[in-house]
């Protein structure tokens, strides 16, 4: 596979996961966990399951923090990254 194909596939998967999370904001935690596991391939390992659950948990936590106004303004992030990248 060409690197550009891998990148598109990876980005597509991230977008798919984010849309899934946003569309299911009103599901119970158990429903989200079950649906998340169901979307994995049949040969998914315990590590695959844990990684996906951790990803979904982190995104939901981040969205919750944004809803509470705990986000960092884009300008501040750009400033911090530019300082970090120039040091």
pLDDT in tens, 30-73: 988 998 899 899 999 999 999 999 998 898 888 888 889 898 88
Sorted by sequence, the CB contacts under 8 Å of residue 31 that are 6+ apart come out as 24
pTM of the full structure: 0.59
Q: Domain ranges in the chain?
A: 3-86
Please state, rounded to an integer, the average pLDDT across all residues of the chain: 83
| Residue-level pLDDT at 52 | 92
| Residue-level pLDDT at 1 | 47
Q: Flag the least confident range among 2-6, 23-27, 49-53, 54-58.
A: 2-6
| Residue-level pLDDT at 3 | 52
DSSP characters over 50-65 = HHHHHHHHHHHHHHHH
């Amino acid at each position: 596979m060409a690197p550009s194909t891998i990148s598109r596939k990876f980005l597509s998967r991230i977008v798919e996961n984010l849309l899934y999370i946003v569309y299911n904001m009103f599901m119970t935690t158990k429903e989200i966990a079950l649906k998340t596991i169901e979307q994995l391939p049949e040969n998914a390992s315990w590590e695959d399951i844990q990684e996906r659950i951790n990803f979904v948990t982190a995104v939901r936590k981040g969205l919750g923090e944004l809803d509470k106004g705990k986000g960092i303004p884009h300008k501040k992030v750009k400033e911090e990254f530019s300082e970090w990248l120039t040091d």
